[in-house]
């Protein structure tokens, strides 16, 4: 089988993988690196549960060939927490606002929100909904998800009510 | 997905050679948002996949004051975030604002959107109204094709099997121009259009007469079209007359031949054209008024 060698930065570490040419980024992340927070929902770029950041931009990892990330930087939900497993403010906000039901869409939601807030630190509710239109949740009505993202303000602090 | 050999050439010449050597067994991959799905579904089974991502010079937006040049590998997201496109070619910004999700727009390219030949492609209507010229590289060198002559049928284009789209060239619009693209969809986001109307109007400022109109329609016929009879009717007429635009809508319906597909019927598409052409015109004119107010 034809193998392609891919070297890239994954959650802050320099890594290398050799995978068949037709491997998707999603498959490589889950199967070679066991990053199971990257979920496959639809596999066609509609649901957003496979969202990761490549060079700080949110992308559907199910639509990308693994070879695309050679020489690039990839961040998954597993790379978001800080030292000693301290949660990212977005992760904390999702917990605090109960923005999780079954949880399958949550890693993709959080990675999309991360990319959104990096470009627009104080989005309106409409901008949040618009920016996260590519992430589907089949459990909730999205209200708590938007609440959670809205509560994370500029500078990375959580500024929801009472904090 | 069936196995293939992945190539990532570093020059357009190498990419053309690879394509020429492998013929129908090869597919080009730009953003991959269409091709990867087709390969997963078994609708496309290339033996060679040639990536364009490492070819220098084809992922930039350049504006000289006389023309806008968009590299074929420029993503929809880069177009969305380009100030020059939003300010001067706003109908193209309209086209990408509501195309897929942020994640898709970060990958999908304008070259892919054009070369797929999909009747629903969002950037194509605006590029038709902008009279864009497509610049290809092939074994015999460069070739340019006006986008108005590029589409031959659903999925069928004038692109030769060994040619690669390099750039899209758009001439600057005359003073007094305004534009708008409206994509008619069933849901607000993550949907394909039932119909697309792209419109460039050139006003004779003093008289408030429409000097020129360019109207690109998608899904109004088997291929994207220019509504040339409507354009002829509108030229020389009062720009802000709603009776005139209603009549223009009728003419546009008459020169369209929309298909009935699983998304909607031919008859409904005609209704959309009639309602949407005046709406698109007045939204473009509102932009002109805003520009004039800003001076």
Q: Under CATH, domain A83-156 is a member of which superfamily?
A: [2Fe-2S]-binding domain (1.10.150.120)
pLDDT digits (tens, 9 = 90+) for B275-294: 999 999 999 999 999 988 88
Note the pLDDT of residue A160: 43
CB contact under 8 A, B107 and A63: yes
Distance CA B20, CA B162 (A): 5
CB contact under 8 A, B104 and A134: yes
Q: pLDDT band for B78, please (50, 70, 90 cuts).
A: very high
Note the pLDDT of residue A163: 38
Q: Which residue spans of chain A are classified as CATH 1.10.150.120? A: 83-156
Nearest to B209 by CA among B185, B246, B181, B240: B240
Distance CA B77, CA A104 (A): 26
**Number of domains within chain B:** 3
Alpha helix (H) residue ranges in A78-124: 89-96, 106-119
Residues of A in contact with B6 (CB under 8 A): 2, 4, 21-22, 65, 67
**What integer is the mean pLDDT of B245-250?**
98
Do B197 and B284 belong to one domain? Answer: yes
Q: How many CB atoms are closer than 10 A to CB A160? A: 16
pLDDT digits (tens, 9 = 90+) for A64-82: 999 999 999 999 999 999 8
Query: Which residue is closest to A133 within chain B, CA to CA?
Result: B101
Q: How many CB atoms are closer than 10 A to CB A16? A: 11
A88 CA to chain B: closest CA distance, Å?
A: 21
**What integer is the mean pLDDT of B17-25?**
94
Beta-carbon contacts below 8 Å between A and B: 90
Note the pLDDT of residue B189: 86
Residue given tokens 């030229």 in the structure block: B235
Q: List b or e across A111-149, with b for residues whose CB sees 16 or more CB atoms inside 10 angstroms.
A: bbbbbbbeeeeebeeeebbbbbbbbbbeebebebbbbbb
Residues of B in contact with A67 (CB under 8 A): 6, 8, 51
Nearest to B199 by CA among B223, B168, B231: B231
Residues of B in contact with A60 (CB under 8 A): 33, 101, 103-104, 107
- Give me A5's structure tokens: 């060698």
CATH of A3-79, one of 3.20.20.70, 3.10.20.30, 3.30.565.10, 3.40.1670.10: 3.10.20.30
pLDDT more than 70, % of chain B: 100
Across the interface, of A2, A59, A130, the residue whose CB is closest to B103 is: A59
Residues of A in contact with B189 (CB under 8 A): 130, 133
Contact A133, B189 (CB under 8 A): yes
pLDDT digits (tens, 9 = 90+) for A69-120: 999 999 999 999 988 889 999 999 999 999 999 999 999 999 999 999 999 9
Contact B199, B213 (CB under 8 A): yes
**What integer is the mean pLDDT of B46-66?**
97
Chain B CB within 8 Å of residue A22 CB: yes
Contacts of B109 (CB under 8 A, 6+ apart): B30, B31, B72, B73, B74, B75, B76
Across the interface, of A22, A45, A134, the residue whose CB is closest to B4 is: A22
Query: Which residue is closest to A60 within chain B, CA to CA?
Result: B103
First to last CA, chain B: 56
B214 CA to chain A: closest CA distance, Å?
A: 30
**What integer is the mean pLDDT of B146-160?**
95
Do B162 and B188 belong to one domain? Answer: no
Residues of A in contact with B3 (CB under 8 A): 1-2, 20-22
Angle in degrees, CA A31, A91, A38, rounded to 5: 15
Q: How many CB atoms are closer than 10 A to CB B263? A: 17
Note the pLDDT of residue B206: 76
pLDDT digits (tens, 9 = 90+) for B79-115: 999 999 999 999 999 999 989 999 999 999 999 999 9
Contacts of B184 (CB under 8 A, 6+ apart): B193, B194, B195, B196, B197, B272, B276
- Give me B207's structure tokens: 């008289």
* Residue B56 placed within a domain: no
B73 CA to chain A: closest CA distance, Å?
A: 14
Across the interface, of A54, A57, A133, the residue whose CB is closest to B101 is: A133
Q: pLDDT band for A1, please (50, 70, 90 cuts).
A: low
Considering only residues 95 to 154 of chain A, which have any Cβ-Cβ distance to chain B shorter than 8 Å?
Answer: 112, 115-116, 130-135
Residue given tokens 């949110």 in the structure block: A58
A22 CA to chain B: closest CA distance, Å?
A: 6
Distance CA A106, CA A137 (A): 8
* Residue B39 placed within a domain: yes
Across the interface, of A4, A54, A58, the residue whose CB is closest to B6 is: A4
Phi-psi domain of B34 (left: phi exceeds 0; alpha: psi -120 through 50; beta: other): alpha
Nearest to B233 by CA among B277, B195, B270, B276: B277
**What integer is the mean pLDDT of B133-161?**
96
Across the interface, of B8, B37, B189, the residue whose CB is closest to A67 is: B8
From B130, B150, B171, the end of a domain falls on B171
Q: Is the predicted pLDDT of residue B196 greater than 80, yes or no?
A: yes
Contacts of A34 (CB under 8 A, 6+ apart): none
Q: pLDDT band for B48, please (50, 70, 90 cuts).
A: very high
Distance CA B46, CA B212 (A): 45
Residues of B in contact with A68 (CB under 8 A): 32, 51, 53
pLDDT more than 90, % of chain A: 87
Q: Which residue spans of chain A are classified as CATH 3.10.20.30? A: 3-79
Distance CA B28, CA B52 (A): 7
CATH of the domain at B219: 3.30.390.50
Note the pLDDT of residue A37: 97
Mean residue pLDDT across chain B: 96
Phi-psi domain of B12 (left: phi exceeds 0; alpha: psi -120 through 50; beta: other): alpha
Question: Strand, helix or coil at B233?
Answer: helix
ipTM for the assembly: 0.94
Q: Which domain holds residue B208?
A: 177-294
Per-residue CA distances from B19 to A10, B138, B159, B280 (Å): 32, 9, 13, 41
Question: Strand, helix or coil at B170?
Answer: strand
Distance CA B159, CA B62 (A): 24
Do B151 and B197 belong to one domain? Answer: no
Contacts of B258 (CB under 8 A, 6+ apart): B195, B219, B220, B221, B266, B269, B270, B273
């Amino acid at each position: 089988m034809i193998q392609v060698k891919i070297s890239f930065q994954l959650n802050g570490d320099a890594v290398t993988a050799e995978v068949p040419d037709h491997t998707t980024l999603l498959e490589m992340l889950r199967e070679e690196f066991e990053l199971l927070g990257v979920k496959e929902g639809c596999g066609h770029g509609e649901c957003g549960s496979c969202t990761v950041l490549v060079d700080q931009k949110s992308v559907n990892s199910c639509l990308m060939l693994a070879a695309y990330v050679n020489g690039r930087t990839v961040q998954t939900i597993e790379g978001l927490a800080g030292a000693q497993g301290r949660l990212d403010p977005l992760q904390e906000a999702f917990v605090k606002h109960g923005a999780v039901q079954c949880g399958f869409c949550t890693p993709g939601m959080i990675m999309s929100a991360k990319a959104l807030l990096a470009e627009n630190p104080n989005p309106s509710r409409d901008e949040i909904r618009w920016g996260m239109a590519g992430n589907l949740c089949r459990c909730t009505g999205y209200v708590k998800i938007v609440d959670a993202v809205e509560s994370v303000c500029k500078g990375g602090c959580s500024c929801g009510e009472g904090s | 997905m069936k196995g293939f050999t992945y190539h990532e050439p570093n020059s357009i010449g190498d990419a053309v050679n690879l394509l020429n050597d492998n013929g129908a067994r090869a597919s080009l991959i730009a953003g991959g948002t269409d091709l990867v799905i087709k390969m997963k579904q078994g609708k496309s089974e290339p033996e060679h996949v040639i990536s364009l991502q490492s070819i220098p010079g084809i992922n930039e937006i350049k504006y000289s004051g006389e023309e806008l040049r968009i590299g074929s590998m420029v993503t929809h997201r880069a177009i969305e975030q380009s100030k020059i496109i939003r300010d001067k070619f706003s109908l193209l910004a309209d086209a990408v604002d509501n195309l897929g999700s942020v994640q898709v727009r970060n990958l999908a390219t304008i070259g892919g959107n054009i070369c797929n030949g999909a009747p629903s492609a969002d950037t194509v209507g605006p590029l038709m109204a902008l009279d864009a010229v497509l610049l290809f590289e092939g074994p015999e060198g460069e070739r340019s094709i006006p986008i108005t002559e590029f589409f031959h049928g659903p999925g069928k284009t004038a692109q030769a099997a060994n040619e690669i789209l390099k750039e899209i060239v758009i001439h600057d619009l005359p003073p007094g121009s305004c534009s708008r693209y409206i994509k008619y969809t069933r849901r607000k986001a993550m949907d394909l259009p039932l119909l697309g109307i792209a419109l460039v109007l050139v006003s004779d400022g003093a008289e408030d007469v429409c000097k020129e109109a360019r109207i690109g329609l998608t899904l109004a016929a088997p291929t994207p079209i220019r509504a040339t009879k409507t354009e002829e009717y509108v030229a020389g007429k009062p720009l802000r007359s709603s009776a005139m635009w209603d009549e223009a809508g009728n003419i546009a319906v008459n020169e369209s031949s929309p298909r009935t597909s699983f998304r909607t019927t031919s008859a409904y598409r005609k209704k959309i054209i009639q309602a949407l052409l005046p709406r698109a015109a007045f939204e473009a004119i509102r932009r002109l008024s805003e520009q004039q107010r800003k001076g």
